[in-house]
Homo-oligomer: A and B are copies of this chain.
Amino acid sequence: MTQRTVFFVSDHSGVTAETLGHSLIAQFDALDFTKITVPFVSTVDKAKRAAANINTAARVQGSPPIVFSTLVKEDVRATVREIVEETDALFLDFFDSFLGPLEKEFGHKSQHAMGVSHGIQNYREYDRRIEAMNFALAHDDGSNLTGYGQADLVLVGVSRSGKTPTCLYLALQYGVFAANYPLAGSDLEERRIPPPLFDHRDKIHGLTIEPRRLRELRRARGIGRRYASPRQVSFETRRAQSLFERLDIPFVDATRCSIEELASRILDATRLERRTTS
């Protein structure tokens, strides 16, 4: 397999450069990539050092590197580009490609300011994401029955169906207040809404999962044989799905969905606002 080295160069945290670069190289699965993030390249001096390191790595590997950049300041960007192009690097700059058309459309020059995307621009918005995360932690797995009035949504599903990571992701990425409650015992047997959620029915969203995947996840946890047994897992998954259908509760299947996808599907279905700051 051909091996190539990819650099994500940023004047800040590197999250945007990583997101861009990953989504592009994921389209070439015949190649094998070594990925290196080079964050906080905020001055021309740092740019010179970072670019020299990239060139050294390129010479060691013997093939030209790919450099995805989200460098906002023109002098920093030009410095990196100039130096890495000495080793025939492919230099792709995100802002360079898109700020021009946007400036023309808006009739405004952009600020060319560093770190405005994943920094703290607005403490109120930022603190809301942190509050949302604290809310998710405090209302995880039915641990606190008093705060559902404040919740944007309450995710329900059987143990290990993905409730906790989805709620935390909804909080950190979108500032959404998501509680979660486990489906188990007599709630599953009687296919009823868990009593603590009676007054919050309109906020309930379900997670289903296929038995095979759930067994895998439960086995990894290693807490007793019955918990991951085919019979138990099949009973729980069937009952949960039937509960959602019978009571007309919207639900999404977690079997082949990453947490990003689950979060997006749930927001799409509930029409909750995505309070993104990043």
Contact = CB atoms under 8 A, between A and B. Distances in A.
Interface of A: 2, 4, 12-16, 18-20, 22-31, 35, 37, 39-40, 64, 66, 70, 72, 90, 92, 94-95, 97-99, 101-102, 105-106, 108, 110-113, 115-121, 126-127, 130-131, 133-134, 137, 162, 164-165, 168-169, 172-173, 217, 220, 256-261, 263-265, 267-268, 274, 276, 278
B108 A30 contact: yes
B98 A258 contact: no
Contacts of A259: 130, 172
A127 B258 contact: no
A90 B22 CA distance: 25
A111 B28 CA distance: 6
Contacts of A66: 102, 105
23 contacts: A12-B261, A13-B263, A14-B264, A19-B117, A23-B94, A27-B72, A27-B111, A27-B112, A37-B264, A37-B268, A37-B274, A39-B264, A40-B264, A40-B268, A92-B102, A97-B98, A115-B261, A118-B261, A126-B258, A131-B220, A134-B164, A168-B168, A172-B172
Contact of A110 (B27, B117, B162, B267): B27
A31 B70 CA distance: 21
A245 to B, nearest CB: 22
Given A12-B261, A39-B268, A268-B40, A99 B19 contact: no
Contact of A70 (B23, B127, B165): B23
A24 B118 contact: no
A13 to B, nearest CB: 4
